[in-house]
Chain A
Amino acid sequence: MADGHKRPHPIVAAMPYLWLAAFFLVPFVIVFRLSLSDDVLAQPPYAPLFEWSAGWSGVREFFAGLDFENYAFVLTDSLYIEAYWQSIWIAAVSTAILMLIGFPVAYGMARAPQGWRPILLMLIILPFWTSFLIRVYAWMGILTREGLLNQALLAIGLIDEPLDILATNAAVILGIVYSYLPFMVLPLYAALERQDDTLLEAAADLGAPPWKSFWLVTFPLALPGLVAGSLLCFIPAVGEFVIPDLLGGSDTLMIGRTLWTEFFTNRSWSVASTIAVLLLLILVVPIALYQNIQSRSLERN
């Protein structure tokens, strides 16, 4: 495959690297440097600062002022550990539910008549046309004690007392599942839609009843799509801030919220940066996994 293609012009080849350098590497270096600093009551609220005027000794002084104190602090404080755990747990449960809902939806779309598929695809993408924030706010209206859900359940007599759904982890999971569903469905749909129907005929011809053909052919071939969808949901869900802030309760301790509190309430830029760097490290494994699968499926095509 590579033989037939001309090498791209160096500037073209460098574009993604320049982009990543400008918008990922440089900010990361700044955040990392902040995480090694100490908080001070000043403007800016961290030290040491780089003294250009002091020359070589200024550089030495600057590096001498950096340390890993914050990491030791965050990693030994049960509050932060608990926040990381809860974030991962909520993201994992949400991703599992997303898989269970997303697979049948994507499968149904891929099996729908050819003419219907663009319409169904459109319907999946349609919610993105309204603001994400408004959609999450709408859930608050649905889930409150006086909300639509409780009113409906009371009206049909399923419950006697309104349920406290809002401000629980369940509401956060619900919000994440609702908001991230397209990210699960789209890669799964792509994987299922390009499957050759003759493969299922071949499986049937060789003696596999429909449920077995599904399990032995359809599912394994959709697996890259399922993994891609799961990572697309899991990675941003771990660091999610808006949904737990709006739908979660006081005991919902997700890392995005903790970070916000450190930064804006405690004005501790260094601890906030440390939390961010550690979050990135936690997510590096799934991100690398995702990249690996992506490049493998690219190779195959």
Chain B
Amino acid sequence: MDNLVLDSRLRGNERMLSIANFPANTRDARGEGQQRLTSRSEPLPASEAAGREFSPWTDPAAVPLIRFQNVTRRFGDVTAIDGLSLDIYEREFFALLGPSGCGKTTLMRMLAGFETPSEGRVLLGGQDLAGVPPYRRPVNIMFQSYALFPHMTVADNIAFGLKQESLPRAEIVERVSAMLKLVHLEGMERRKPDQLSGGQRQRVALARALAKRPKVLLLDEPLAALDRKLREQTQFELMDIQATLGTTFMIVTHDQEEAMTVADRIAVMDHGRIVQMGAPTEIYEQPSSRYVAEFVGNVNLIEATVSGRDGGAVLLESTIGSPLRAIVTENIVPQTKVALALRPEKIRITVRKPDTTENVARGEVVGIAYLGDLSIYQVRLESGQVVKAARPNVTRVAEQPIARGDKVFLSWTPEAGVVLTR
């Protein structure tokens, strides 16, 4: 706490927590934002625009903006966060993904200052946040319920945080109108929250949280209340806004699709711990455990025993019958009990017997879900296990339609499955 000083001598708008080597005051934040804006306004490669080549966590020299160090939070006998460590970098769009009660919201609230760690430290810009009240943290939340002030207009809601900084009136007006423009709510400034639709309220909440130009924007299930179409559209807008402003975003969600769409990096949580952390492709294609594989997307888990090794692959024995071969990266000793995780879209479904003898299973179609773009086939194998296989509907009328009750073959390549030991 020694290096945290509330310097009341600073001029109004800079009267925030002034932390050594931490440009928390809004003028600085704004300068950086504009700089970033220009440096990012040049045409970006597609992958960079999608935020996929942005990976400061792989750079050992990069200094994290947010650090959770061995953080534990207990509520009575319940441990909500269990010795968790996590680094988040500047400009990152970070997602905490997990079912309700996994501790993701508690973790976010600790950063905002509404919860205090029972053990461990939370650092922002290198400074310990212990003892700093929520109203002095350069962090803003977009609440799940939006928490808009019902007695204030849209403009007053957005201006609320700016007024707390005692910014000059003209600047508040200017920033509020810039925010309204950013979230496409021009002309709505005089409305009250109860005169807005759900989507509009969500935008006001976003604008209000961003108006102070926080170091970190925390989004608590931000799109949960919106319908599917609006949610998808808003996800892309969130990504756009994040890329434009260069603010670090931390989103808490139980919706894996949402996390995968918006985030640079995802931490999958379970019982107060991070069970896997990585880019969305990594989480989806290389899950580290049965829990992650099942929580993120659809998966078929085939229980098997390792029977031998063949170069970079392992041979598996299972109830499926045909020998199984799967590429592995780690060394797994024979006789280990494992699960072969197979995503439905990586399984080929055919009526004719495939040429290979490995990675083939026979079965009967017991159910078909036609989703338009995809059809999901539920196939009962001879072992009794029901496996899902997806097939894109590339033509409007299938030449060889597969019907319920048909005998089919499922096959997949050795690279398709992931061998899970946990």
A and B, one complex?
A: yes
A202 touches which of B113, B136, B147, B212 (Cβ 8 Å): B147
Is B104 an interface residue when CB atoms closer than 8 A count as contact? no
Q: Which residue of A lies closest to B114 (CB)?
A: A201
Contact B194 A201 (CB under 8 A): no
Q: Check if B165 is an interface residue, CB within 8 A of chain A.
A: yes
Shortest distance from the beta carbon of A199 to any chain B beta carbon, whole Å: 5
Inter-chain CA distance A300–B192, complex, in Å, is 11
Inter-chain CA distance A221–B152, complex, in Å, is 10
Give the residue of B136, B147, B164, B209 whose beta carbon is less than 8 angstroms from that of A198. B147
Partner of B145 from A196, A206, A208 at Cβ < 8 Å: A196
Q: Is A58 located at the chain interface by the 8 A CB criterion?
A: no
B208 close to A206 (CB less than 8 A): yes
Partner of B143, one of A201, A207, A209, A217: A201
Check if B164 sits within 8 Å of A212, measured CB to CB.
Answer: yes
Query: Within the assembled complex, what's the spacing in Å between the Cα atoms of A204 and B133?
Result: 8
B141 partner residues in chain A, CB cutoff 8 A: 201-202, 205
Contacts of B112 in A (CB 8 A): 205
Q: Is B134 in contact with A198, judged by CB distance below 8 angstroms?
A: no
Within the assembled complex, what's the spacing in Å between the Cα atoms of A184 and B255?
A: 46
Chain B positions within 8 Å of A208 at CB level = 135, 160, 164
- Does A127 touch B at the CB level, under 8 Å? no
Are B114 and A202 in contact, with the CB atoms below 8 A? no
Asked if B54 is an interface residue, CB under 8 A from chain A, the answer is: no
Which of A199, A201, A207, A300 is within 8 Å of B161, CB to CB? A207
In the bound complex, residues from chain B placing their C-beta under 8 Å from that of A206 are: 135, 140, 160-161, 164, 208-209, 212
The answer, yes or no, to whether B150 is at the interface (CB within 8 Å) is yes
Task: Give chain A interface residues in 172-211, CB to chain B under 8 Å.
Answer: 196, 198-199, 201-209
Which of A207, A209, A217 gathers the greatest number of chain B CB atoms within 10 Å? A207
Tell which of A203, A220, A221, A300 touches B160, judged by Cβ atoms closer than 8 Å.
A203
**Residue count of chain A within 8 Å CB distance of chain B:** 18
A209→B113 CA distance, assembly (Å): 13
A221, B147: Cβ atoms under 8 Å?
no
How far is B160's CA from A212's CA once the two chains are assembled, in angstroms? 11
State the Cβ distance, A295 to closest chain B Cβ, in Å: 16
Contact of B164 among A201, A207, A300 (CB under 8 A): A207
Q: A220-B151, A221-B150, A300-B194 are in contact. Are A204 and B134 (CB under 8 A)?
A: yes
Query: Is the CB of B149 closer than 8 A to any CB of chain A?
Result: yes
Residue of A at shortest CB range from B145? A198
A207 and B145 contact, CB distance less than 8 A:
no
Specify which chain A residues have a CB less than 8 angstroms from the CB of B149 in the assembled complex.
199, 202-203, 217
A93 to B28, CA, bound (A): 52
- Are A201 and B145 in contact (CB-based, < 8 A)? no
Within 8 A of A (CB), among B126-171: 133-136, 139-141, 143, 145, 147-151, 160-161, 164-165
Inter-chain CA distance A207–B15, complex, in Å, is 11
Which A residues lie within 8 Å of B136 (CB)?
Answer: 207
B112-132: CB near A (< 8 Å → 1, else 0) gives 111000000000000000000
- In the complex, A205 Cα to B149 Cα: how many Å? 13
Q: Count the A-B residue pairs with Cβ separation under 8 angstroms: how many?
A: 58
A221: chain B residues within 8 A (beta carbon): 150-151
Contact A205 B140, beta carbon cutoff 8 Å: yes
Structural contact, B147 and A201, CB atoms closer than 8 A: yes
- Give the shortest distance, in Å, between B212 (CB) and chain A (any CB): 7
State the CA gap A199–B205 with chains docked (Å).
12
Q: Chain A's nearest CB lies how many Å from the CB of B204?
A: 12
Residues in B neighbouring A198, C-beta threshold 8 A: 143, 145, 147
Shortest B251–chain A CB gap in Å is 16
Residues in chain B near residue A202, CB distance under 8 A: 141, 143, 147-149
* Bound Cα distance A33, B294 (Å): 83
Which residues of the other chain, B, contact A199 by a CB distance below 8 angstroms? 147, 149
Give, as a whole number of angstroms, the nearest-CB distance from A110 to chain B.
17
CB distance from B163 to the nearest CB of A (A): 9
Shortest beta-carbon distance, B248 to chain A, in Å?
A: 16
Q: Kindly list chain B residues whose C-beta atoms are within 8 Å of the C-beta of A196.
A: 145, 147
Q: Mark A202-238, 1 if CB is under 8 A from B, else 0.
A: 1111111100100011001100000000000000000
For residue A195, which residue of chain B has the nearest CB? B150
Q: In the bound complex, what is the Cα–Cα distance between A271 and B96 (angstroms)?
A: 77
Complex-state Cα separation, A294 to B294, whole angstroms: 53
Bound Cα distance A207, B113 (Å)? 12
Q: For B140, list chain A residues within 8 Å (CB).
A: 205-206
Measured in the bound complex, the distance between the Cα atoms of B134 and A203 in whole Å is: 9
Interface 0/1 of B375-386, CB less than 8 Å to A: 000000000000
Q: Restricting to A272-286, which residues have a CB under 8 Å from any CB of B? A: none
B residues 191-213 touching A (CB-CB < 8 Å): 194, 208-209, 212
Whether A209 contacts B135 by the Cβ 8 Å rule is yes
Interface residues of B in 37-63 (CB under 8 A from A): none
Q: Report B250-272 CB contacts with A as 1/0, cut-off 8 Å.
A: 00000000000000000000000
Please report B residues at the A interface, Cβ cutoff 8 Å: 16, 112-114, 133-136, 139-141, 143, 145, 147-151, 160-161, 164-165, 194, 208-209, 212
- Enumerate 18 A-B pairs (CB-CB under 8 Å) in ascending A order: A198-B145, A198-B147, A199-B149, A201-B143, A202-B141, A202-B149, A204-B113, A205-B112, A205-B139, A205-B140, A205-B141, A206-B164, A207-B165, A208-B164, A209-B133, A209-B135, A216-B160, A220-B151
Top 10 closest pairs, chain A to chain B, by CB: A207-B164, A206-B161, A202-B147, A198-B147, A204-B134, A204-B135, A207-B135, A220-B151, A205-B141, A208-B164
A199-B147, A206-B212, A208-B160 known; 16 other A-B pairs, CB under 8 Å?
Answer: A199-B149, A201-B134, A201-B147, A202-B141, A205-B112, A205-B135, A205-B141, A206-B160, A206-B209, A207-B16, A207-B136, A207-B161, A207-B212, A208-B164, A209-B135, A300-B194
